[in-house]
Amino acid sequence: MAFDFEKGEVLLIDKPEEWTSFDVVNFLRSFIRKIYSIKKLKVGHAGTLDPLATGLLIICTGKKTKEIDFYQGLEKVYVGTMTLGATTPSYDKETEIDARYDTSHITEKLLKETLPKFTGTIEQMPPAYSAIKIKGERAYELARKKESPNLKKRSVVIHDFQLLTTQLPDIDFYVKCSKGTYIRSLVYDFGKALDSGAYLSKLRRTQIGDFKVSDAYTLDQLKELLLKETSR
């Protein structure tokens, strides 16, 4: 398999936990430039994954970076785990629990009755700990300085939201949604709708449009493939 990164490639990457999407972009740009002796190379990703999330990241290089908006606009599929009975400022495990809530009233019936409120077009507030830029500064940078980012609600579409398990406090779920959806906000709002609290404890993106994580390279796999190609 021959790659032409300057002309343009679309790479499917299985992002590891604790890497930011920009970490992946920067690593690949540096690695590809080094082993292919390329002076300058455009590399970008089509849809941010939080550091604690894993799964499918679409990386575009060279002239293919012009197609990033197309890939960003595709529907996304996630599987994850929410933990009921508590919240965190970041809506996930990045920050410590800031409040605890009763869950004794939450039944399987209540869970199933609440789900339809979160399908179709919904309004959601992005998390304060997000990569949204506000006057040139990331929202999470402001939040870490204990400042309140001025964020606005946005309309997103939840095509499918299913609970795969209902054993409290950890509930596994499946979501198919439009671009711009914050799964952390979805989980947080779902907890509030249950008259309790919830935070995201695990997330994996399994699909973007027709692209599947099962067809993606890990970073180690891609490194090995590229090293073999350049050593021929």
pLDDT in tens, 112-165: 999 999 999 999 988 876 666 666 666 666 556 666 666 788 999 999 999 999
Alpha carbon distance 196, 218 (integer Å)? 37
Q: What is the pLDDT of residue 147?
A: 63
Q: From the centroid of its chain, how far is CA 146?
A: 24
Task: Report, as an integer, the average pLDDT of 166-180.
Answer: 96
* Residue among 14, 50, 92, 189 flagged as catalytic: 50
| Phi and psi torsions of 174, nearest 5° | -130, 135
- The number of CA neighbours under 13 Å toward the Cβ of 116 is 4
Domains with residue ranges and CATH for the chain: 10-73+210-230 (3.30.2350.10), 76-208 (3.30.2350.10)
> What is the rounded distance in angstroms from the CA atom of residue 135 to the CA atom of residue 100?
34
Select the more confidently predicted residue: 151 or 66: 66
What value does the mean pLDDT of the chain take?
Answer: 92
Q: What is the mean pLDDT of residues 33-61?
A: 95
Asked if 59 and 13 count as a contact pair (C-beta separation under 8 A), the reply is yes
Q: 50 catalytic, yes or no?
A: yes
pLDDT (average), residues 184-210: 98
Least confident of 86-90, 143-147, 156-160, 211-215: 143-147
- Who wins on pLDDT, 62 or 132? 62
Please classify residue 223 by burial: count the beta carbons closer than 10 Å to its beta carbon, then call 0-12 exposed, 13-18 middle and 19+ buried.
Answer: middle
Is pLDDT of 2 > 90? no
